[in-house]
Structure 1
Amino acid sequence: MIWYTVLVLAVGAERVAELVVARRNMRWSLEHGAVERGQGHYPAMVVLHTGLLLGCLAEVWAAGRPFDPALGWTMFGLVVAAQALRWWCIRTLGPRWNTRVLVVPGLPLVTGGPYRLLRHPNYVAVVAEGLALPLVHGAWLTALVFTVLNAALLTVRIRCENRVLAPGFALGGDETDTAGARP
């Protein structure tokens, strides 16, 4: 179980690295006239993703979940693939990537990298990781709870982003949970 704890802590460190990149990118976006949307659901997203990491550790340690090599190594491969996809998204979007919903007016929609294949590839990474990370060590309850709650959150988040990415959307007004951009 120690190696699983190290894995979850490594994913947590990756999240901190994302926040450092997001903070830097937020400064760039604001300097270029960005408008933020979706502020209302952002705290829930932070709590949910923190809960995923804590839930993984709590369930494995408290319930004594066993490591099943066939499932565990397969899910570990999926976690690695999710991280690779996430960082491909970050690299493709460059300074436009963020954990927040920030839109710089006048910039064209990104259609390269993974965005040439999917409209929201970063969320594919989030869904895959949210399912796979707990299942690396049999934390099926955490995987289930995160997946259900994440589906509800992504419904709000993607609707928010799709609205602001729609052609002709006006960035004015005070909408806080109904418009967004690609993180």
Structure 2
Amino acid sequence: MNAANGSSHHAFLTGFDRRLAGGYIATAPRAFDDPGYNRVAAVPSHAMHPYKMVATLWLAWLISWVIAALWADPVKRRAGLDAEYQYRIVLLVGTLLFFVPAHGFIGRVRLWPPSPTLAWLCVALIAIGLLFTWWARIHLGRLWSGTVTAKIDHHVVDTGPYALVRHPIYTGLLLAILATMVARGTLWAVAGAVLLTIGIVMKARLEERFLHSELGKAYDDYAGRVPMLVPFTQV
């Protein structure tokens, strides 16, 4: 291979061989979170960037969730930091890895390059997951707590999303986390998603033990009817 052919081949592989076609720019596949995505992917240059939409959805959810924490009944009893610190550490490390910026990652760190179609499908799944958490939050009302606690007059809620799973907030979060991981396609996102999943399951199991001790047979009967995290399964 001569120098000229080698140069042309390299240009093709790296996506620099571009052609304008009917107002769109055609090129080799690029990850949706690549800074040049809107310039080189087969989408209109004015289109909304899915990476920005992912970030917007998570930021809007976080801000609204923090504000909604004010809407809760007084706590009667807590599991305590000694019982909670393990899952908190796992969730913290998982969050830090999960949101490592994905721009420009290539090679082994970039495990797969999400296509525009896949990216927007993931955006839709993230929105569904986060909306599901809000449905559960609103349905639970003032019994909600960000930590493992029992409230005054605590009781089993088994309607709405709680008729599908015992921990619907975690179910929605897991869906949004999985979709975000697929959309980002990086080693960091996968590692973060794994740790976040482990942390959420750890917290859910802690809550199970705590609620069993607080609510007794009423919660045991509920747990016998409704799955913990995945609807229509035994999981």
Between 1 and 2, higher relative CO (CA 8 Å, sep ≥ 6) is seen in 1
Tell me the secondary structure at the aligned position of residue 119 of structure 1.
coil
Alpha-carbon offset, residue 169 of structure 1: 5.9
Correspondent of 1:93 among 127, 130, 140: 140
Larger Cα Rg: Structure 1 or Structure 2? 2
1:148 paired to 2:194: yes
Query: Which amino acid is 1:68 matched to?
Result: S
Counterpart for residue 13 of structure 1 = 60
- RMSD of aligned Cα (Å): 2.7
Q: 2:230: which partner in 1?
A: none
User: Which residue does the alignment assign to 1:162?
Assistant: 208
Structure 1 residues 118-129: aligned runs within 5 Å: 118-129=165-176
Shift of 1:43: 3.9
Q: Runs of 4 or more off by more than 6 Å in structure 1?
A: none
> What is the CA–CA distance in structure 1 between the aligned matches of 2:66 and 2:186, rounded to whole Å?
27
Once the two structures are TM-superposed, the CA of residue 130 in structure 1 deviates from its matched residue by: 1.1
Structure 2 unmatched ranges of 5 or more? 1-32, 36-48, 217-235
SS in 1 for 2:78: strand
Conserved in 2, the CA contact under 8 Å of 1:114 and 1:121?
yes
Partner Cα separation in structure 1 for residue 165 and residue 138 of structure 2 = 15
Q: Which moved more, 1:69-78 or 1:83-92?
A: 69-78
The corresponding residue for 2:103 is: 61
User: Could you give the per-residue CA deviations for residues 78-104 of structure 1, whole angstroms, max 9, x where no partner exists?
Assistant: 101101101001111111122222211
Q: 1:70 aligns with which of 117, 135, 138?
A: 117
Unaligned runs of 5+ in 1: 171-183
* Percent identity of equivalent pairs: 24
2-11 or 126-135: bigger deviation: 2-11
- Quote the residue 2:21 is aligned against: none
Which region of structure 1 is more displaced relative to structure 2, 6-15 or 152-161?
6-15
Residues 72-130 of structure 1: CA deviation (Å, up to 9, x unaligned): 12211110110110100111111112222221144211111100111111111111111
TM-score with structure 2 length normalisation?
A: 0.59
Alpha-carbon distance, 1:6 to partner: 4.8
Alignment of 1:77-116 (within 5 A): 77-116=124-163
Deviations 1:10-43 (A, max 9, x none): 4123212212212x135x323xxx2222533364
For residues 30-69 of structure 1, what are the structure 2 equivalents within 5 Å?
30=75, 34-37=76-79, 39=81, 40-41=84-85, 43-44=88-89, 47-48=92-93, 50-51=95-96, 54-55=99-100, 58=101, 60-63=102-105, 66-69=113-116
Instruction: Give, in angstroms, the shift of residue 149 of structure 1.
Output: 0.9
Distance in structure 2 (CA, Å) of the matches to 1:45 and 1:86: 21
